[in-house]
Structure 1
Amino acid sequence: MAKLILNHVSKDFGTGRPAVNGVSLDVREGGFLALLGPSGCGKTTVLRMIAGFEAPSDGAIFLGERLLADPAQSLPPERRNMAMVFQSYALWPHMSVADNVGYPLKVRGVSKDVRRRRICEALDTVRLADLADRRPAELSGGQRQRVALARCLVTQPDVVLLDEPLANLDRHLRQEMEETFREFHQRSGATMVYVTHDQSEAMALATDIAVMSRGELLQVASPQEIYARPEGRLVGSLIGRGAILSLAVPAAAPRKLEWDAICALLGASAPDGGVLADVLVRPEDVRLGGEGAAARVRSSLYEGERYSVTLDLADGQTLRAFSRERPMPGDTVSVTITSAWRL
């Protein structure tokens, strides 16, 4: 295996705006990268260029030192040693689980003995060895997705590409399959690139997250880094459930703000010639009660273990908070912001 490198990759379908515009990425060997963004942001187009289903209009794609594609040439998908898992499982209904998993090896002319051994290894990895003789119709949705994963693994690919593979599963199965994907990555050691519009999936699964919008790459970082220290208003709004306040933060102030500084800035106007800064406040950093700034409760939504509360500050800006007790809409409460991040 080797590092997957995208060097200023673009894709223009002639619609007036590039679907992908100058994306540069290094996916480390054995890493799990999530491409995260809203529908139409270009993440699936990036995945299809990596797979070889689309050729880049500009830039280049490498696997280690091996050139996979640039505007002048593009290796076909079958010569890239990659495997792809789609939203649909794409299993042959008339074949057993074992035959579905071994089909790519059969096409390549791999001997029966080697094929049988690698099928058993792949099914053991996804914990389906005891279902090898069943047909897809006899399996649950989660089990079918595991068969699709085993079919990827049996070819011993350098890179596994996943295009929103959990989109067709219900919430319970999604959580089960997230654990399967984590285990699959740990046991296989494969480099994985995972496309999703669901930030919770990206946070739960990936070692690194690449956030995209309108064909451009906004930030690449670990889940912890991208949650705590997002770069720019768009990333801050896409990741988590925070509120973005406009505050007159001095240019020399640190990026991370504590309550004393925040309290002094609430309701303050920008100095002459100055500008207001975007400040991200996460709901878990908002405390209700005690001495603090006054806020009016706009709504209070029960989520099972807590209430999700929307608050209006005196200057009309909005905060979000969590509470074990239910504050009533219309109530005036006191809020303290323990920490915030200047975007």
Structure 2
Amino acid sequence: MAKLTLNRVAKDFGTGRAAVSDFSLDVREGGFLALLGPSGCGKTTVLRMIAGFETPSDGSIHLGERLLADAAQSLPPEKRNMAMVFQSYALWPHMSVAGNVGYPLKVRGVSGEAYRAKVGEALSTVRLADYAGRRPADLSGGQRQRVALARCLVTSPDVVLLDEPLANLDRHLKHEMEETFREFHQRSGATMIYVTHDQSEAMALATDVAVMSEGRLLQVAPPAEIYARPEGRIVGGLIGRGAILTLPVMGGERQLEWDELQDALQAANTDGADILVRPEDVIIGGEGGCRNRRIRAVRG
């Protein structure tokens, strides 16, 4: 296993605006990275370039010392030792659960006892050993997603890519599948990259969150850090709940006490810094009407 590195990657489909621009990111080995952003921000395009389904217009992608792709060349998806879970599951309806899970092994020429052992182990990991002979049509949405995960696990990939895998599930199943993803990550040890527009999924699952907007990477950090120290107005608005106020606050402090915020609120000049006020930072009560511990600035 090795670190995945994207170095100033760009993708232009010739539409007049690049889908991805100057995107640089190191994905820690064995980490769980969430690519978070609104629809159309370029996160799925980044995932597809990592997988090998798209070729970068500029920049390069490396896995350890190995070049996966740049503008001149691109290693085919089947030679990258990666696995991808799609939003639509992408299961073959005419195959059994075991047949779907074992298909990547057949492509690689694995057969006999080795084949059966790997398929059985993968199905046990996602708690579907008793469903090996069923067809996808006989399964629930959550069970189909587990089949797709088992199909990833069976080849022992270096990197697992997930493209909004919970988008088609109801709230109860989403919570259940979040637990499955955590178990899958712990057991497989693979590096995982998870595309989502749902901040709650990103914050609950990932070891690192990378926020994108309009094809660019705005910030990457562990969930607690990106919540506490968002870099800029867009990140502050995407992560967690709160109100962003533009106030005439001087200086470079990232946290303000209540008296400092009061002075800023009463000032006539509205030019200044973006200040993020989280609900947990405000306490209603007392003679002043409102007190707080600290208020965060979201300066870029």
What range is the shorter-chain TM-score in? Answer: over 0.9
Map of 1:7 onto structure 2: 7
Partner-residue secondary structure (3-state), 1:74: coil
Corresponding position of 1:289: 285
Kept in 2, the 8 Å contact 1:291–1:336? The answer is: no
- Tell me the distance in 1 between the aligned counterparts of 2:273 and 2:22: 28
Deviation beyond 6 Å, 4+ runs, structure 1: none
Question: How much has 1:54 moved relative to structure 2?
Answer: 0.4
Which gives a bigger RCO, structure 1 or 2 (Cα 8 Å, sep 6+)? 2
Q: Unmatched 5+ residue regions in structure 2? A: none
Counterparts of 1:14 and 1:33, CA distance in 2: 29
Q: Which residue of 1 aligns with 2:256?
A: 257
Deviation at 1:338, TM superposition (A): 2.6
Other-structure match for 1:166: 166
| Paired AA for residue 261 in structure 2 | I
Q: Deviations over 1:91-147 (max 9, x none)?
A: 122222111100111122112211111111111111111221222122111111000
Match of 1:241 in 2: 241
Pairwise CA distance, 1:204: 0.5
Q: Quick one: distance in 2 between partners of 1:159 and 1:269?
A: 53
Q: Report the 3-state secondary structure (helix = DSSP H, G, I; strand = E; otherwise coil) of the residue aligned with 1:266.
A: helix
Give the CA RMSD over aligned residues. Answer: 1.2
If each structure's helix is expressed as a fraction of its own residues, which one has the higher value? 2
C-alpha distance in structure 1 between counterparts of 2:19 and 2:292, whole Å: 39
Paired amino acid for 1:67: L
Q: Partners of 1:278 and 1:176 in 2: how far apart?
A: 37
2:250 and 2:272 in contact (8 A); partners too: no
TM-score (norm 1): 0.85
Deviation (angstroms), 1:339: 1.8
The answer on whether the counterparts of 1:206 and 1:223 sit within 8 Å (CA) in structure 2 is yes
- Compare CA radii of gyration and give the structure with the larger one: 1
Letter in 2 for 1:262: L
2:147 is aligned to 147
Spell out, residue by residue over 1:250-287, the C-alpha distance to the aligned partner (whole angstroms, 9 max, x if none). 225x21112232223222134xxx94111001112122
Could you tell me which residue of structure 2 aligns to residue 306 of structure 1?
none
Work out whether residues 32 and 194 of structure 1, in 8 Å CA contact, stay in contact via their aligned partners in 2. yes
Whether contact under 8 Å (2:33, 2:209) holds in the other structure is yes
- 1:301 is matched with none
Between structures 1 and 2, the one with greater strand share? 1
Q: Tell whether the 8 Å contact from 1:101 to 1:150 is kept in structure 2 after alignment.
A: yes
Alignment match, 2:120: 120
The reply to whether residue 278 of structure 1 matches residue 274 of structure 2 is yes
CA distance in 1 between partners of 2:178 and 2:208 (Å): 16
Q: Paired residue for 1:339, among 282, 294, 297? A: 294
Percent identity, aligned pairs only, is: 78
- What is the TM-score of this pair, normalised by structure 2? 0.97
1:161 CA drift (Å): 0.3
CA distance in structure 2 between the partners assigned to 1:286 and 1:240 by the alignment: 15
Secondary structure of the residue that 1:290 maps to in structure 2? coil
Equivalence map 1:193-232=2 (5 Å): 193-232=193-232
Q: What number of residue pairs does the alignment pair up? A: 298
